[in-house]
Structure 1
Amino acid sequence: MRFLTEIVDALVGFVQRNPLTVLVILILALGAPALLKGIALFILYFFMGLILLALAAMLFFRWRIARMRREMEEQFGRGFDGASQDGFRGGFGSRQRDTARREGEVHVHRTSETPAKRVSEDVGDYVEFEETKD
């Protein structure tokens, strides 16, 4: 019985907060019941479509994450369980190149030469100044 009184109280609260909406619904129900049925079906299909879209998106993302996990496990060796000693280096570089270098050895590679100056040396004046304490 308490459940029914809570439902009635909620309906009364809705009518008090939205009198114009309730009036439009009543006019549609009395004057054009087929139109009200069409609107109700549209709202029902719209929400069901949103729910199905959310489920499809959730399943797609779960599939995508599982696929990426499999690819990463294949890339890094036998997995992330620590059984593979060289798992993290296996996908990024060749082992021959890694063994040719000694531990702690640093190599610096210059990528490009410095660009040529765009402004000649003759442009501008040099101003000499001295800092003085007041």
Structure 2
Amino acid sequence: MKYLMAVIDALVGFVQRNPLTVLVILILALGAPALLKGIALFILYFIMGFVLLLVAGVLLFRWRIYRMRKEMEERFGEGFGGAAGGFDPRGFGARQRPPKQEREGEVKVYRTSDAPEKRVSEKVGDYVDFEETRE
């Protein structure tokens, strides 16, 4: 009973907020029911089309995520999905290496490319000798 009262209250509220719209709908319903049916069908099809686009978008998004997950598993190994089907926070399964013991403060520099350093011609700009000072 409360549900029916809530629906009636909502309809009364709509009529109070939109009296001109309700009047136009009533005139169309009495004077040209075929036109009102056409408008109602257009609104129905519009809403159904919007819902179908939304569902298609969700399905497309899920398919894209699934495809990206498969590509990541192929690229990084099966440890990404794990045996339980979840992410393994410790690493990538069998490829994980034990951590090496490093001394505190030790710095290692690795060369990442065999490309020679780029050098700028001496004709470009002036060299400014500077010295860092603490204030």
Q: TM-score scaled by structure 2?
A: 0.66
Range 28-37 or range 72-81, more displaced:
72-81
Check if 1:114 corresponds to 2:114. Answer: no
User: Root-mean-square deviation (CA), in Å?
Assistant: 2.6
Structure 1 spans left out of the alignment, 5+ residues: 88-103, 122-134
SS at 2:77's partner residue? coil
Which string of whole-angstrom CA distances, capped at 9 and with x for unpartnered residues, describes residues 86-133 of structure 1?
69xxxxxxxxxxxxxxxx3422755532266567x8xxxxxxxxxxxx
Check if 1:29 corresponds to 2:33. Answer: no
Q: 1:68-107 maps to which residues of 2 (within 5 A)?
A: 68-80=68-80, 81=82, 82-85=92-95, 104-107=108-111
Change in Cα spacing, 1:25 to 1:78, as seen in structure 2 (3 Å) is same
Number of the residue aligned with 2:132: none
Range 107-116 or range 6-15, more displaced:
107-116
Range 104-113 or range 74-83, more displaced:
104-113
Change in Cα spacing, 1:5 to 1:110, as seen in structure 2 (3 Å) is same
Deviation at residue 16 of structure 1 after TM alignment: 0.3
Check if 1:4 corresponds to 2:4. Answer: yes
Change in Cα spacing, 1:34 to 1:110, as seen in structure 2 (3 Å) is same
Q: Distance between the aligned counterparts of 2:122 and 2:17, measured in 1?
A: 74
| Paired residues, number | 105
Q: TM-score scaled by structure 1?
A: 0.66
Structure 2 spans left out of the alignment, 5+ residues: 83-91, 98-107, 127-135
One-letter amino acid of the counterpart of residue 35, structure 2: L
Change in Cα spacing, 1:21 to 1:118, as seen in structure 2 (3 Å) is farther
